[in-house]
Structure 1
Amino acid sequence: MFDDYKVSGIIGVSSSSSSKNYISQLYESNLIDQPIFGLSLVSSDQTIKYLNSNNKQSNLPSDYGGLVIFGSQAFKLTKKFTEKDLVVYTDISDNDNSYWLINVTEITSHNDSASADIASDRQALIDTGTTGLALPKSDADSLHSKLFGSNLVTDNSGNYAFLCNDTNSNITFTINDHDFNLSLSDFKGNEYSGSGLDGYCASKIQGLDDNDYWILGAAFLSKFYTIFDLSKKKIGFADSRITTYAIKETPKVFSSETVSSSSSTRSKNGSHTSTQAKSSSSATSKNNSTSSSSKDSGARDIQAGLHNLIPFQCLIMVLAISIFN
């Protein structure tokens, strides 16, 4: 199923701190100081520079999708990525699958003519493995109908298209008494060509008959800086303000001895300290990529929704990076 995508692998991180997922293993191994991670997905209005360890500008990899930030750095970089350092946290709802499941109290649509309530008291699954958004079909039908009216085209199977020149439609999600806005450009797919739908663009919002949750994928998350906290079972959202930043690859010093020649302890305040023995060698950090988004070419690409397990493209700088704007 991955033949057509640039996928190195999928990392599944549940919301349960007791599970042996990637984040909890990093924490238990003293490699990060807190069992949390921050997520900043690249958006279309950002300019990103990539500098190698020699401070020379290089081409940003074509499949770069954003940053995953581990441990307390997720908090420390909040001021870099957000407006007024405001992060709105909400509790993870208990569920048997350890999903990152939250309560959304209200969803409202807005266009040139009116605003309309679409739904209230919905549960939303935060999922980087979904390129767009996936809704119960009745909610998806209602949302698109109220946003686009007679300009809406649908196959009545949960896929939709609307006029590409529409610029004033948006959606508001109310989470923990805070409004988060999604503009039309965030869920507009590619324009159709040669299919009788010239001038129409596919919607990245899909309706699924067997879906109980609103699934908020990369199209939603790219608007926000998101912090996932396993220890407190919370997820935080902040309006992303950063439009330009650079990623700089920095030298990383590794011990030339075996792992047994190093000793690691965690200090009382939770920070990680490490002592390495004997000689060491310097190496530049490697770019480890994980996850890949489905190709954004219309409703075809989101038909499988959550179940296709094709996540967004995301290049994770794991070893040693510094971010500045």
Structure 2
Amino acid sequence: MEELETTEELLVKQHRKEKKDLQAKIQSMKNAVPKNDKKRRKQLTEEIARLEADLSQKHEEEVRQLKSTTDTKVEEVVNGVESIQVEGEEQEDAKQPRVTKAQKRRDKKAAQEKERESRIAEAEVQNLQGVRHQEGLKLAQKLAQQKLQIKEISSDGHCMYRAIEDQLAQRSQPGLTMSVKELRSRTAEHMRSHADDFLPFLTNPNTGDMYTTDEFEKYCSDVEHTAAWGGQLELRALTQVLRLPIEVIQADSPAIKIGEEYDSEPITLVYMRHAYGLGEHYNTVEQLKDPANGEES
């Protein structure tokens, strides 16, 4: 088992080195392209996203290959140990030297360190294979094509409204800046005054029946006064409140566009299914920055 753990740790170290080498290569590529050459900078951004995706795919394949051989090697090691024990058990007992207390302490410390390294290596492997990592990678590639990147929003139940608040602030248009509280209030107010447009899409989860008037009012009250999570109904209401289209980018599906009847630059949100332990989450976006100097590319 010790040999298998060492192999896994070596693979993780190799992956770390390859990531570091790729970052150095990317830095060199960026230095070779003038900042004012927008066409080449856009091509460079797409090429960097491709290189990072290729490396991630290579690492995943190497991890799968390592795991596919694990069971066979473990069986060989275990069978070999059992054979040695059966054939030479009495001789080993006779030759076994007495272990001092100091040696036992050293052995225990070494075993603990070995276990710690193994846990770190396993965490690295799980991260490479994790759906959260893959979702983030796909989103980064999609956004890079638009010269955008994710801007993190806190996960507190208000994430959709906070993301829209941030998008409005980035526009710096008079009369469009709104707080989360105001966005929630305006959303609830619009839904109440256009009940026929929203009520048919709300059903009681226990009975499957369409919401009653009282249930709909409770729903709107939660939108306005609590941290109730927002979804497509609330986004539809917000496009009509703001008179702006909203585009929602996803990793594994085409972008959702709401409010296309409005001829303006859309508010762009990122929808993540695996961002946090509870799952679904909205982030906002910002202009893609050059990691070399923190400036927009």
TM-score interval (norm. to shorter): under 0.3
- Structure number with the higher strand fraction is 1
TM, length-normalised to structure 2:
0.23
TM, length-normalised to structure 1:
0.21
